[in-house]
Structure 1
Amino acid sequence: MEPGGLWADGKGEGEGDVHERWLQLLNRSTGDPGYRDEWFDEQCGGCRFWIALSGELGLDWGACARAGSPFDGRVRFEHDGCERFVARADGAFG
């Protein structure tokens, strides 16, 4: 890793660059014309299998831990989603 790069505690530079780069990988963008209304209630941040990252990136990003999801083991934006969504029992988000 380059000196001054990202660290697990979020202290470092480049979080904004990472955020913008990862946004290009969305499965469901809320800005797309084909975005379905029901998907607003099925976003990654409300899924019981979404694990938030630490630091600044953890405010918007987490890892998917849903077996059978095409995103299992991958970092996802909290407002993204997939067909393997399962709501958290407590109804929390993020």
Structure 2
Amino acid sequence: MAEDRPWTGEDQDHNDRCHTRWRASLTRSTAQAGYRDEWYDAQCGECRFWIALRGQLGQDYGACSNPGSSFDGRVRFEHDGCASFAGRADSSFE
């Protein structure tokens, strides 16, 4: 990534490093022991407070804007979740 150019969000090496770092903070991985079936339908990407990022990272990551969540203001993986999940009225997935 050239330091003198504006950030576009399309630097694959940077995005891969972000993905690796951010995945380390998951609270609910489908691979973990004790993952509950009901969590599958209560993932961040389906929450009405999840705002997708732009660029390549926006395909998997967004910011939590739920004032009742401990993750408010933090970047979250779309398949993660929390106890403050609030589903979209239209059941859409961003």
TM-score, normalized by the shorter chain, greater than 0.5: yes
2:9 paired residue number: 10
Q: Would you say how many aligned residue pairs link Structure 1 and Structure 2?
A: 93
Q: Mean Cα displacement is larger for which, 57-66 or 25-34? A: 25-34
Q: Which runs of 5+ in 1 are unaligned?
A: none
Cα shift at 1:72? 0.3
Q: Which amino acid aligns with 1:55?
A: G
What secondary structure, in the 3-state scheme, does the structure 2 residue paired with 1:14 have?
Answer: helix
TM-score by length of 1: 0.90
Q: Which runs of 5+ in 2 are unaligned?
A: none
Cα shift at 1:16? 0.7
Q: Matched residues in 2 for 1:38 and 1:23: separation?
A: 21
Cα shift at 1:89? 1.3
Q: Matched residues in 2 for 1:49 and 1:2: separation?
A: 33
1:48 paired residue number: 48
TM-score by length of 2: 0.90
Segments ≥4 residues shifted beyond 3 Å: none
Q: CA RMSD in A?
A: 2.1
1:22 partnered with 2:22 = yes
1:66 paired residue number: 66
